[in-house]
Amino acid sequence: MNIWAEASNTLNDATQFDTDLSLPLLIITENSTIPIIQTTDKDSILSMINIDDKIINSSEKTIRFLKKLKSQNPPIEIKVGKSTQYLYYGNSSLLTKLKYYPISLVLIFLFFTILLFNFYRSNKIATQNRLWTGMAKETAHQIGTPLSSLLGWLEIMRLDNVDPQIIEEIEKDVKKLEIIADRFSKIGSKPQLTNIDIVAETEKIFSYLQLRNSKQINFTFESPQHEILVPLNKELHSWTIENLIKNAIDAMKGKGGLDVLIQENTKQVNIFISDTGGGIPKKMFNKIFEPGYTTKKRGWGLGLSLTKRIVEDFQNGKIKVLHSEIGKGTTFCITYKK
C-alpha cells in the first residue's frame, strides 16, 4: 500500500507530458483486491476502490465500512499541494485467507486425530466384545456338563422317594442354571423378541429371588392385575430384573426394603425397582452403567453395563437412575414400548 501511495503521488505530481508514467499506472491498476477509501483530513470521502457497490450506494454502510478500515490498518498520508489526504485500506482476500488457513489446518488435524482415536477405540472395543463373547459361550458350554449330571441325580432322588418338595426346589435351581447357560450362549447374537406378559415374567423372577434371600429384607411387588404385552426376550428380561434386584440387595447389605412397581400408560410400561440402600451420588448416575465400574470389593463391574445393553440395544427400551439419595436408597426405572 505504501508503494501504491507513492505511485499515486507520482501521478499527481506529473507535470510534463513526456514523463514516463507506465510503472505508476501499472501499480495503480494491478491492485484489484485491496479495498481503499481516500479521504481529506476532515474525513470527506474522495474516492473508493475495490469496494462493493452496495456499500458505495449507501452512506450509512460507507461510514461503517470506513470505521472498519480504520480499525484494521493505520492510514497512509498523501501530500497533495498544501493539503493532506489519507488512504484507509483493508486486508486483501489473500491476506484474509492466509490468516485463517492455519486455523483450518489445525481443525483438519484435530478432525483426523479424533477420527483415528475413534477408530482405535472402536477396534479395541470390538476386540474386547469378541473376547467376552468367547468367554461367555465357553462358560455356557462348561455349565452344560454338570447340568446333565444334576438332572440324572434328580431322577435317582425320585426313585429313592425323597421329599417331593425338596426335589421341586432343586429342580427350580437346575432350571435356573439352564437359563443362565442359555443366556451366556446367546451373548453376541441378536435375540429373538416375542410379545410376552411383562407382569407375569417380572413377578416370576421376583418370587424366585424372594424365596432365596434374607428374611430381613421386606419384598413388595405391585402391578396391574391384567397382562401387559411387550416385545421382549424372556431370558434376557429375567436377567435384567435379576441383576437390578441383586444389586439392590447388595446395596442394602441383606437388610432393608425392596419394592418392584409396574405402571403403564397408553403407549409404554415402566418398571420401578427401589431399595433402601446407601444410594448413589448424582454425578455417578451415568458412570455406573460403564463396564468395569463397581463399588464392590469383589466384582467386575459388568452387571449394570450388561443390563443397559440388554434393555437399550437388544430390547429397544430405556434404563436410568430415576432417583437416589445418599443413605436413603435408589430407584431404577426401565421403560418399554407396549
Q: What is the CATH number of the domain that holds 203?
A: 3.30.565.10
Among 91, 115, 145, which residue terminates a domain? 91
Cell of 211: 424365596
Pair (150, 285) in one structural domain: no
Backbone angles phi, psi at 204, to 5 degrees: -65, -50
Percentage of residues in the chain having pLDDT higher than 70:
91
Residue 273 to residue 259: CA distance in whole angstroms: 6
Query: Do 223 and 288 belong together in one domain?
Result: yes
Residues 209 and 270 in one domain: yes
Supply the pLDDT for residue 83. 82
Residue bearing the bigger pLDDT, 131 or 106: 106
So what's the pLDDT on residue 313?
87
Chain length of the chain:
338
Instruction: State residue 41's pLDDT score.
Output: 83
| Alpha helices (H) in the chain, listed in sequence order | 2-13, 22-30, 53-56, 59-72, 93-159, 164-186, 198-211, 234-252, 303-308
pLDDT attached to residue 323: 92
- Give yes or no: residues 203 and 249 share one domain: yes
State whether 130 and 251 are in the same domain. no
**Does 212 lie in the same domain as 160?**
no
Residues 173, 305, single domain; the answer is no
Instruction: Single out the residue in 91, 125, 143 at which a domain terminates.
Output: 91
Q: Find the Cα–Cα–Cα–Cα dihedral 308, 336, 322, 256, rounded to 10°.
A: -80
DSSP-derived letter for residue 190 is P
Q: What number is the average pLDDT over the span 195-208? A: 93
For the entire predicted model, the pTM comes to 0.55
Provide the pLDDT for residue 96. Answer: 77
Lowest-pLDDT range of 17-31, 46-60, 183-197, 301-315:
17-31
| Number of compact structural domains in the chain | 3
- Tens of pLDDT, residues 120-147: 888 887 777 677 677 777 777 777 778 7
What's the confidence (pLDDT) of residue 309? Answer: 86
What is the model's pLDDT at position 199? Answer: 95
Tens digit of each residue's pLDDT (9 = 90 or more) over 59-103: 888 888 888 888 888 888 887 777 888 889 888 777 778 888 888
In the block, cell 429313592 appears at: 160
Residue that finishes a domain, picked among 147, 164, 188: 188
Q: Find, among 187, 178, 182, 180, the residue nearest to 134 by Cα.
A: 187
Q: Classify residue 161 as exposed, middle or buried by CB count within 10 Å of its CB (0-12, 13-18, 19+).
A: exposed
* Same domain? 85 vs 135: no
The pLDDT of residue 174 is above 90: no
Say which residue, 323 or 177, is predicted with more confidence.
Answer: 323
Q: pLDDT grade, residue 25 (50/70/90)? A: confident
Do 8 and 22 share a domain, yes or no? yes
Host domain of residue 266: 194-337
Residues contacting residue 300 through CB under 8 Å, at least 6 positions apart: 292, 294
At 283-322, the pLDDT tens digits run 888 888 877 666 665 555 567 888 898 899 889 999 999 9
Question: How far lies 35's CA from each of 21, 229, 327, in Å?
Answer: 23, 72, 70
Any idea what the Cα angle at residue 333 is, between residues 288 and 329, rounded to 5°?
65
Kindly state whether residues 244 and 274 are assigned to the same domain.
Answer: yes
Are 175 and 286 contained in the same domain? no
- Shared domain for 305 and 209, answered yes or no, is yes
* Per-residue pLDDT at 17 exceeds 60: no
